[in-house]
Structure 1
Amino acid sequence: MKTILVAGAVGVIGRAILEHYEQKKDVRVIGLSRRRPEFKTRAEHISVDLLDKADTASKLGTVDGTTHIVYAAYKELPTRHELVAPNLAMLCNIVKTVEQTSPSLQHVTLMQGGKAYGCHLGPFPTPAREDDPRHISPNFYYDQEDFLRVHSVGKQW
C-alpha cells in the first residue's frame, strides 16, 4: 500500500491532490498543513509547521512507511529574495524527516507554478518547457530543484 504525504494540503493544488488520491482504495493519504481542512476529506491530517524543523520532526517522526511525498506547500512573502529561504527550508525539513522514518520512500513530487518559468518577471516564451534556460535568480523553485537533485543522489527515490 502506498502512503502519500501531501504538503500544503489545504491550498488549491494540495486539495486537488487529496481529492485525486482519496478516490483510490489502496492508498493512505495524509494531508499536511498548519490548519485543518475546511472541506470534507477521507485523508488523514497532521497539523504541522514545516518551517519549524523540530515541529516537523516531532509530528512526522511518528509516520512510518511513507512511500511518496507530494510537495505543494508555499510561503508567500513580498519579494522573490525573501521567498527562497522559507520555501527551501520547508521542503528540506519534510524530506530529511521522512527519510529518517521511512526507508520505503520511493518518490518526491515537487509541484511548481508559473514563477518557475519567470511569469512574475514579464513575458516568457510559450509554450514553456522544463528544459528552458533558467531566468535571473533568485527563484525559490531553482533552490528546491537543486536541493532535490543533490540530495537524491544514491537514494532509492
Structure 2
Amino acid sequence: METEGSVALIVGVTGMAGFSIAQALKRPEAPGAPWTVYGSSRRPPPSWFPETTLDRFLQLDALDRDWTVRALAPVAAHVTHLFWVALASRESEEENIQANSAMMANVLRALVLGGGSRLRHVALQTGTKHYFGPFVDTVSMSRIGPVEVPFREDAPRLPYPQFYYALEDILSSYTPKLTWTVHRSSLIFGASTCSVNNLLLTLAVYALICRHEGSPYVYPGTGYTWSHFCDASDSGLLAEQQIWAAMSPAAKYQAFNCTNGDVFTWRSIWKLVSELFHVDFSDCPSKPVGPTWVGEMKKKAHVWDAIVEENGLLKTSLEGIATFEALYAVLNFGFQHVCSMNKSREYGFVKSVDTLKSVRKWVERFEGYEHNPQRLMERM
C-alpha cells in the first residue's frame, strides 16, 4: 500500500460535501497534492459514484465501535488528514448529540489506536445552526429567538445544547496532539442522492412533480424570505476551503464560515429553477401555504415513481431524495440567513462563487451525473 505523503480519510464521502472533497483532493493543483484518498460511509457508494474518485472505499457504521476499528485497521496507520462531513440525524437534539459524538469518538479512537498514528489534522464541517440553534419542526422553529446577522465566527455559543458544540469539544480535547479547523457552511448546493439536506435537489424534485401534474410551482415560504437575503455554500467551494485550511499553518484551531461570498433572494432562485425545469414561475402567494404542504408533498411518492419510470432516471424514492421538512423550515425563517466571510478572507481564503451559476451547474450535474446514462433529473 503506497501511502507516502498526504493521506485523507473522508467520513461521509457519499454526501454532497464528501464527494466534492474527494474530487477536489484528486486534482493535481490541490494543496498538499498528490493525495491518497480513502472514503467511508454507512452505505456503499451509489451507482453514479465514480470509482476513480477514491483509492479505497471503507464501508462502516461509525456508531458501531468494533466495526469502525475493524474497517479502519488497514488504513489507520497511514491517514494524515481526517475530513469529517458525516451526519446522524435523530428526532431530538439530545439524541443528535449522543449519536454524532459517538461516531466521531469511535473514528478518532480507531485512527490513533495502538500508537504509530500519522493523523495530524481534522477538518470538521458543521453549519449555521451553530448561530441560531437546531430546528427539526415548526415547534422548534418557533423557539428561535432574536438572531444577529451577519453570522460571525466569534459569536458566543447559544445557552442550550447542540451537537455542533459537542463535536468541537471533542476536537479540542485532542489539542495539541492534533490540529483542527471548523467549517460552518450555509445551505449547501451540490449533487448527491445520499445527503440528508439536499435542498436544491428537493427544489428540482418539487418542480418536476408540479410539471408532471400540471400544478403551479407554488412557493411554500413567506413573503419575508421571498424578498430578503439568504446565502448558500457551493459544495465545491466548501471542499476547497477545507483543503486550504488543512494545509495552512495560520488556519489551525480556527472556525471559518464558508459561503459563496454573495447573497440571493429566494425569488431569484425560484425564477431560475422555474426556467430550468420549464414550469410556470409563480410569485409568492399573499396567503402562506402553511405546514400542511410538507405532508401533501410526502404523499407524492407515486408521482415521483412515475416520473422516474417514464424518463428512465436513476431509481430513487421520494423519501430518500427529497427533504421537504428542511426546505419548508428554511423558506419560513424569520431572519436573513447571511454569514460574514471576512475572517476567511483575512486568513487567506478568498475564493467565491456566483450562487445562481452554482444552481445552474448542479442542475446540469443532476441531469447527467458523471455521464451516467441513468440521470438523477430530466428537463425538457
TM-score normalised over the length of structure 1: 0.91
Which fold has the larger relative contact order, with Cα–Cα distance below 8 Å and residues 6 or more apart in sequence? 1
What pairs up with 1:112-127 in 2 under 5 angstroms?
112-118=126-132, 120=135, 122=144, 124-127=147-150
Secondary structure, in 3 states, of the residue corresponding to 1:111? strand
Structure 2 equivalent of residue 11 of structure 1: 15
Structure 1 equivalent of residue 117 of structure 2: 103
Contact preservation (8 Å) 1:22, 1:41 = no
Secondary structure, in 3 states, of the residue corresponding to 1:57? helix
Structure 2 equivalent of residue 35 of structure 1: 43
Structure 1 equivalent of residue 312 of structure 2: none
Q: Deviations over 1:114-149 (max 9, x none)?
A: 222225353522221222111132100111111110
Q: What's the Cα RMSD here?
A: 1.7
Aligned counterparts of 1:156 and 1:148: Cα–Cα separation in 2 = 8
Aligned counterparts of 1:3 and 1:124: Cα–Cα separation in 2 = 40
Q: Deviations over 1:49-98 (max 9, x none)?
A: 10000000001012121000000100111221211001001011111111
- Aligned match for 1:77, one of 90, 108, 114: 90
Contact preservation (8 Å) 2:65, 2:106 = yes
Per mean C-alpha deviation after superposition, the further-off stretch among 139-148 and 111-120 is: 111-120
Aligned counterparts of 2:161 and 2:178: Cα–Cα separation in 1 = 30
Aligned counterparts of 1:104 and 1:15: Cα–Cα separation in 2 = 23
Aligned counterparts of 1:12 and 1:6: Cα–Cα separation in 2 = 12
Structure 1 equivalent of residue 356 of structure 2: none
Aligned counterparts of 2:123 and 2:85: Cα–Cα separation in 1 = 9
Unaligned runs of 5+ in 1: none
Secondary structure, in 3 states, of the residue corresponding to 1:54? helix
Aligned counterparts of 1:125 and 1:94: Cα–Cα separation in 2 = 35
Structure 1 equivalent of residue 305 of structure 2: none
Secondary structure, in 3 states, of the residue corresponding to 2:126? coil
Contact preservation (8 Å) 2:26, 2:34 = no
Secondary structure, in 3 states, of the residue corresponding to 1:46? strand
Structure 1 equivalent of residue 71 of structure 2: 59
Amino acid of the residue matched to residue 37 of structure 1?
Answer: P
Structure 2 equivalent of residue 128 of structure 1: 151
